[in-house]
Amino acid sequence: MNWNIEDAQQNWSTVLQAAAQEPQLIYEQDHLIAAIVEPEAFQEFLAWKQQHSGLPQALKELRQICLEENYTLDIPPRQNRPEPFVQ
């Protein structure tokens, strides 16, 4: 359910009880400022977030693997290619 911030403050216990059924979204001037969810859903999110730490973490792990295996990437020298659209 969606709440504006004033209603959420006045009905805090209702907001918390309703969060057991579905996320309760709190808005201020049409901007989402908070989401109240059940603790189990939040724990699941934290576990997911830890497993999917994102591109920076993946690149860091890849860099470490390359260092451990003494891997180097051979980059061919640059060369000019014909450009068919340039006359």
Q: What is the DSSP string of 14-49?
A: HHHHHTTTS-EEEEETTEEEEEE--HHHHHHHHHHH
Question: Which of 58, 69, 3, 68 lies closest to 31 in space, CA to CA?
Answer: 3
Q: How far apart are CA 10 and CA 4, in angstroms?
A: 10
- Is the pLDDT at 87 greater than 70, yes or no? no
pLDDT grade for 21, boundaries at 50, 70 and 90 = very high
- What percentage of the chain exceeds 70 in pLDDT? 99
Mean pLDDT of 3-11: 95
| Residues ≥6 apart with Cβ < 8 Å to 26 | 2, 3, 4, 5, 8, 15, 32, 33, 34, 35, 36
Q: What domains appear along the chain, each with residue ranges and CATH number?
A: 2-37 (3.40.1620.10), 39-72 (no CATH)
